[in-house]
Amino acid sequence: LSSQRILVCQNRTCRKQGAKTVLAEFQAQNIAEVKIFGSGCLGQCGNGPMVLILPAEIWCDRVSVEEVTAILTRYALTSDRATPTTPLTSPQSP
Ligand code: FES
């Protein structure tokens, strides 16, 4: 059994950026192999909503609800074999 975990920051800054709905969307996917947690600040405030996939330690920034399924498919469900390459979300220019 896998011990995939996904942390979705629920601290103030990320919540302001929509982390609550992102967390809800991850939970709504209800994937047995992946445990979803709301977390405290992940130290990346301002780039939120921040998502951290463990144990692979893949960081996703500015995650939107629309990206949740893609993140699960691309990283969490295949991370035994996947090599972390390019981030799914590229930072927007400031
Ligand atoms: S509030 Fe989310 S990373 Fe700090």
pLDDT by residue (tens digit) across 71-93?
Answer: 999 887 754 544 445 555 555 65
Identify which of 50, 52, 61, 63 to mutate to test ligand 1's pocket (most ligand atoms within 8 A of the CB): 50
pLDDT band at residue 3 under the 50/70/90 scheme? confident
pTM for the whole thing?
0.80
Partners of 47 in beta bridges: none
* Residues 54, 6 contacting (CB under 8 angstroms): yes
Is the Cβ atom of 14 under 6 angstroms away from ligand 1?
Answer: yes
The number of angstroms, rounded, from the C-alpha of 55 to the middle of its chain's C-alpha atoms is 12
